[in-house]
Every structure is written in C-alpha cells, then in structure tokens.
Structure 1
Amino acid sequence: MKRLFILFFLGIYAMAGFAQEADKIVGVWWNDEKTTKIEVEKKDGKYIGTIVYMIPEKYENGLPPKDDENPDEALRERSIIGIQILKDFEYNAKDKEWKDGTIYDPKSGKTYDCYAWLESEDLLKLKGFVAGIRWMGKSSEWYKTTL
C-alpha cells in the first residue's frame, strides 16, 4: 500500500512538471521582424496565438492594416490586430515541441501546418509547412516580450 501511495505521488509530481514545461510557450512574443506582438495562451487544452499589437509604422491612414489577402472575401476588411494566427497546438513532451497546429500568414492569406519549439526561455522557433513535409517549409523566430 505504501508503494502504491509513493507511485501515485510521483505520478502527480511528473504531471505537474509536464504542465509547467508545456506552458512555457504562454506569453507575449515579438514576431521575427519585431513589428507585431502575438499573445499565446492555452484555451480548451490547446495553445493559440492572437495578434495583439502592431507597431504604428505599419498602420495605414492611422489604422492597423486589414486582412486583405484572406481567401475569404468577407474577412478582408477586418483588422490584423485581433486575428488568431496560431491554432490547435498540443505539447509533445517526448519531442519537447508544440505540434499539430496551424499558422495563418496574413501577408499571403495562407494557412500552414506548423510546429514550434523553445530554443531558449526567450526564443520560440516555429516552422510552417505544407503536405505533411516538415523539412520543407518556412521558419520563423519569435522573441519573448511583454504587452
């Protein structure tokens, strides 16, 4: 009985460590050009990212740019700020990466399969790809910041 209790306690402790590791992606990140801030949060057990800030130099006529490359014409007039560009990421503890997600590129209006990993506490690397071919794609580096 004592062994069972110890195993149970160790299992709970390991799960807490897993959750802490997975949540390291949560926070606000500059994109690689340092023009846009993306807030990553956990929602319904998955990680998502929303554009929360854009430098004023990118504004057009005093307003943030529109999502004018979106394939859905009804969405082309919405502001870039507030768009969810990361969706459905899940943490894989074995590979120490967030995977099975997608990333939306407002510049092209395209959505790509994507995975991400932390290079350091302040550097998040992402790679978008198509057709399930992970090694063929575009990489991006995001830098931890504050809102």
Structure 2
Amino acid sequence: MTMPIPKLSHALLIAAALMSLPARADSTGEVIGRWRDSDGVSEIAISRCGPALCGKIVWLKQPHVDRFNPDPKLRERPLLGLQVLSDFKPDASGVLTGTGYNPEDGKSYRTTLSPKGPDTLEIRGCVLGGLVCDDDLWTRQR
C-alpha cells in the first residue's frame, strides 16, 4: 500500500519537471552580433535597443556620406555609425520585422531578418505591401 503524497509535494514535483524542460530560444538572440554584407563593403552590428533590435554600420570598406538622403541637411553625415536597422521584433510567425534604411537610395523599407544558420542572415526589404522585395545574405563576423 502506498502513502498519498501531500498536495504541496505534487506542486513541487510539477515545478521541478517544468524547470527541467528546455527554454524556448529567444529568436532575437540569434541575430545579435556583427554581420558583413554579401558584397563585403560594410558591416552592421545588430544589438538590443530597448524591447527591439537595431543595427548600425560599424565598418565600411570605403568611407561614404549619406548622399542620397531625402533631407538635404543629412547628405553630408558619415555612414559609419549610422543606424540602418530599427525596431525589429518578432511578428506572429516569429520572423523579425522592422525598418531598414538603404543608404544606396536614401529610402526606408519594411524589412525582415531571418537566420539561415548560425553564421548566415537573410535581409529582405520590401515595398508595395511585399509585392516587390530584394534580399541579401549577410555573414557573421567573429
């Protein structure tokens, strides 16, 4: 004959079992780091900015200014140090979505960040509600 286990013991056993389950991975953590674009001309550092992620240009093969910016007052600012990724958060499907600024045309686009392995990140910028998109594969820098 077995002795009944008190309710407190049941609660402790359940809590211990739940704590032993693997934690759900933070999808934002996979993209934090330094990334080089596919052309090898720039590197972007992606980090936490409050509850979201952002990215700044931290290396350029050749220094440039923001010459295509729609605001004439900003066309002489250096690209080095410029924040080009803003407000990236997981959407309902878990894809990181935010705004990407493209210094090559001075425009901002709805952008997604999708890890394609530990050292590859797909960047996809879209216009017209996603009808026209362009993507690039970035490589993690160590």
Task: State the TM-score, normalizing by the size of structure 2.
Answer: 0.82
Does structure 2 conserve the Cα–Cα contact (< 8 Å) formed by 1:125 and 1:141? yes
Is 2:69 the partner of 1:70? Answer: yes
What's the CA shift for 1:13?
5.9
Alpha carbon RMSD of aligned pairs, Å?
2.4
Aligned to 2:105: 108
- 1:76-111: CA deviation from partner (whole Å, max 9, x where unpaired): 11101011111011124x734211x01111010011
Is 2:28 the partner of 1:28? Answer: no
Identity %: 28
What's the CA shift for 1:53?
0.5
Aligned to 1:131: 128
- Paired letter, 1:138: D
Count of residues paired in the alignment: 134
Does structure 2 conserve the Cα–Cα contact (< 8 Å) formed by 1:38 and 1:52? yes
Residues 137 and 65 of structure 1, relative CA distance in 2, 3 Å threshold: same
Extract unaligned runs of 5+ from structure 1.
Answer: 59-63
Higher helix share: 1
In 2, the alpha carbon distance for the partners of 1:88 and 1:5 equals: 40
Extract unaligned runs of 5+ from structure 2.
Answer: 1-7
Is 2:21 the partner of 1:18? Answer: no
Aligned to 1:141: 137
